[in-house]
Structure 1
Amino acid sequence: MARRTTMMPMTGMATGGGVGGKLLAGLVFIGLIALVINDPAGAAFVAHRVASALGHVIDGISAFTMELAR
C-alpha cells in the first residue's frame, strides 16, 4: 500500500480574515489618507517619528542579541 502524506496545517499564517478585520483595515487606510490630505507636514512628522522609533527598537534588539552572544 502506498504511504499517505497529509499536509500539516500552517499555524500563524493569516487565512483571509473576516469582514471586521477588512473593515478596520479600510477605515485605518482612509484615516491615513485623510491625515495626509489635511496635514501633509504633520503626517510626514508622524511618519518620521514612527520610523525613528522602529529604528530604536531594532537597535535595542540587536544590542540584546549581541550581549547574549558574549
Structure 2
Amino acid sequence: MSWLIYEGLLLLGIIAVMLTIAGNAQYHIHKVAYEHLKHIGNNMWDLTMEKRDKKLIEQPSSASSN
C-alpha cells in the first residue's frame, strides 16, 4: 500500500517540476524579447495612471516658475 503513496508523490513531483520549467521559460523569453521585466497585475487602469503620472512629471509645474 505504501508504494501507492510514493508513486503519487513521484507524479506530483514531475508535474511541479514541469510547471516550474514552463514558468521560468516564459519569464526568460519575455525578458529577452522586451528587454525588461513584465509588470504583473497591471490592467488598463494601472497603465492609464502610469501614463498620467509620466505626463505630470514631464510638465513644468506652475509653482516652480514663480
Please tell me whether Structure 1 or Structure 2 has the larger radius of gyration of its CA atoms: 2
TM-score (structure 1 length as normaliser): 0.44
Q: With the length of structure 2 as denominator, give the TM-score of the two structures.
A: 0.47
